[in-house]
Chain A
Amino acid sequence: MTPEPTDSHVSHHVVPVWKYLAVFAALITLTVTTILVAQIDLGEYNFIVAITIAVIKGSLVVWFFMHVNQSNSLTRLFVGAGFFWMAILLVFVLSDYLSRGWLPRPIWW
C-alpha cells in the first residue's frame, strides 16, 4: 500500500559467513595498520591517514554489517544525510576558527 518501492525484507539475502569473516579480517587489518602508522612521524599526514582508515572501516561496517549494500535508496539517503549534516556542523564551525587569524585585508572596494 505504500507508494514507494520497498524491499519488504531488508536483509532477505542471507550473506554467506565467509563474507562477514572477510570484512572482519579487513577491519582487524586496518586497525593494526592504523596503530602501526601512528608510531611513524608523518607530520600532518598522520591525521589524514588515521581519519582515512577510520572512514574506510566505518564504511565497511555500514556497507556490509549494516546491510546498506542491500538497502533501498531511502535508507542510503538517510545515511548520507547523517554525514552531510555532520559535515555542515564541522565545516561551518571550522570556517570561523580557521579564518579568525586572517588579517583584515585592506578594503578592496
Chain B
Amino acid sequence: MGLFPPQASTTAWHVDALYVYLVVISAVMTLLIFVVIGIFAFKYRRRSPDDPMPKPIHGSVPLELTWSVIPFLFMLVMFAWGTKLYFENYTPPRDALDVYVVGKQWMWKVQYPGGQREIDELHVPTGRPIKLTLASEDVIHSFYIPAFRLKHDVVPGSYQTYWFEATEPGRYHLFCAEYCGTNHSRMIGWVTVMDPVSYQNWLASGASNASMSDLGAKLFEKYGCITCHVTNHTGPPLNNVFNHPVQLTDGRTALADEAFLRQAILNPNSRVVRGYQPNVMPVYQGQIDEESLLQLVVYIKSLAQSPMNSQANPQ
C-alpha cells in the first residue's frame, strides 16, 4: 500500500499537492535540524573532561529575525493556499446535484432527490459536482471520504454541507470520523463512483414511486402546513422563497437556505418574516425526524423552481 489514499475527486489532487508542499518543507526543516545537530554534536564533542570552557555566544538579533521570518514566509504560503482551498471546498457551486445524508447511531442514511434511499452507501456520478447536506439524528458524527480528502462534522441541530466532484469510478471508504459511541468504528460504508451512464441506470433501477419532494408534499399536507402557507395566507407564501433573501421582523435579512428553512420549521418564532405574527405556527422541534424534515425542505426548495406555483402567488 502506498502513502496516499486513492485520488477520486477534483480536490484530492489539490490537497495532495499542498500536503506534498508541507511534507517537503517539513522534511527539509527536520533534516536541516538533524544534520546541524549531528554535525555540532560530532564536531564540538568534548574530547576530554579537561577541555577548555567554550567562549560564550550570547546570540544574534539578525539571526533570530532570519529564522523567524523565513519560516514564517513559508507558513504564509501554507496559510493562503490552505485557506483558499478550504473556502473552495466548502462553497458549493450552484449547479451541484443534491444528496441528503442523515447520520444516526450507527448508520448513514442517504436520500436522493429522486426518492432513492440507501444505508451506508453513497452512489455518485463522475464529472458532476455533488452537494451533500448532512444532518444528524442524535450525536455528532463526521462524514469522511478519504479518497475525496473531505470530511465535515454532522452536527445535530443544524445542516452542514460540503461538495465534491468525483473523478475516478470505483468503490471508496466512507468513515464516521467523529467519535459517536459504541459502534463508531462500524459506522462505515462505501462510496461508489460511477460514470454518468451507469449512474443513470443505477438511479433508474432504484427509483421509487415518490421523489423526495413528493414525499415532502405529503408531509406538507399531513402536518397542516398547507392551511396557513397556501390556503389562508396567515403564513408567508413559500414559493420562490428558497435561496432568496427574507426580511425579518427584527430588521435583519436572512438567506432562506436549507438551514433557515429547517430552523423555520422547528422553531418558527426564532426568526419571523416581516409582516407576519409570531406564535402562530406551532413548534415542530421534536415532532419530526431528520429524514422527513429533509423531505419537507426539498419540497419547499422545489416550489422555488416550479413556475406553476410561483404564478399562484405573486411575491
A touches B in complex, CB < 8 A: yes
Interface of A toward B, CB cutoff 8 Å: 101, 103-104, 106-107, 109
Max chain A CB contacts within 10 Å: which of B84, B87, B90, B254? B87
Is the beta-carbon distance between A104 and B87 smaller than 8 angstroms? Answer: yes
Is the beta-carbon distance between A103 and B84 smaller than 8 angstroms? Answer: no
Contacts of B87 in A (CB 8 A): 104, 107
In Å, the complex CA distance between A104 and B91 comes to 6
Is the beta-carbon distance between A107 and B88 smaller than 8 angstroms? Answer: yes
- Nearest-neighbour CB distance to chain B for A96, whole angstroms, equals 13
- The 11 sampled A-B contact pairs (Cβ below 8 Å) are A101-B254, A103-B255, A104-B87, A104-B90, A104-B91, A106-B91, A107-B84, A107-B87, A107-B88, A107-B91, A109-B84
In Å, the complex CA distance between A103 and B90 comes to 11
In Å, the complex CA distance between A101 and B254 comes to 8
Give the interface SS of chain B, mostly helix, strand, loop or mixed: mixed
Contacts of A103 in B (CB 8 A): 255
Interface string of B91-119 (1 = CB under 8 A from A): 10000000000000000000000000000
Given known contacts A103-B255, A107-B84, A109-B84, what 8 new A-B pairs fall within 8 Å (CB)? Answer: A101-B254, A104-B87, A104-B90, A104-B91, A106-B91, A107-B87, A107-B88, A107-B91
- Nearest-neighbour CB distance to chain A for B132, whole angstroms, equals 15
Specify the chain A residue showing the minimal Cβ separation from B251.
Answer: A43
- Nearest-neighbour CB distance to chain B for A65, whole angstroms, equals 40
In Å, the complex CA distance between A101 and B91 comes to 14
Interface residues of B in 247-281 (CB under 8 A from A): 254-255
A-B contact count (CB 8 A): 11
In Å, the complex CA distance between A98 and B90 comes to 18
In Å, the complex CA distance between A101 and B260 comes to 10
In Å, the complex CA distance between A109 and B90 comes to 15
Q: Contact residue range for chain B?
A: under 10
Interface of B toward A, CB cutoff 8 Å: 84, 87-88, 90-91, 254-255
Contacts of A107 in B (CB 8 A): 84, 87-88, 91
- Nearest-neighbour CB distance to chain B for A97, whole angstroms, equals 12
Contacts of A101 in B (CB 8 A): 254
- Nearest-neighbour CB distance to chain B for A46, whole angstroms, equals 14
Specify the chain A residue showing the minimal Cβ separation from B254.
Answer: A101
Specify the chain A residue showing the minimal Cβ separation from B88.
Answer: A107
In Å, the complex CA distance between A107 and B88 comes to 7
In Å, the complex CA distance between A106 and B255 comes to 15
- Nearest-neighbour CB distance to chain A for B81, whole angstroms, equals 10
In Å, the complex CA distance between A103 and B254 comes to 10
- Nearest-neighbour CB distance to chain B for A91, whole angstroms, equals 20
Contacts of B255 in A (CB 8 A): 103
In Å, the complex CA distance between A103 and B84 comes to 16
- Nearest-neighbour CB distance to chain B for A73, whole angstroms, equals 28
Contacts of B90 in A (CB 8 A): 104
Contacts of B254 in A (CB 8 A): 101
Contacts of A109 in B (CB 8 A): 84
- Nearest-neighbour CB distance to chain B for A98, whole angstroms, equals 12
- Nearest-neighbour CB distance to chain A for B84, whole angstroms, equals 6
Specify the chain A residue showing the minimal Cβ separation from B158.
Answer: A100
In Å, the complex CA distance between A106 and B87 comes to 9
Top-10 shortest CB links A-B: A104-B91, A109-B84, A107-B88, A107-B87, A103-B255, A104-B87, A104-B90, A107-B91, A101-B254, A107-B84
In Å, the complex CA distance between A98 and B255 comes to 15
- Nearest-neighbour CB distance to chain A for B259, whole angstroms, equals 9
In Å, the complex CA distance between A109 and B84 comes to 8
Specify the chain A residue showing the minimal Cβ separation from B87.
Answer: A107
- Nearest-neighbour CB distance to chain B for A108, whole angstroms, equals 9
In Å, the complex CA distance between A109 and B87 comes to 11
Contacts of B91 in A (CB 8 A): 104, 106-107
In Å, the complex CA distance between A107 and B91 comes to 9
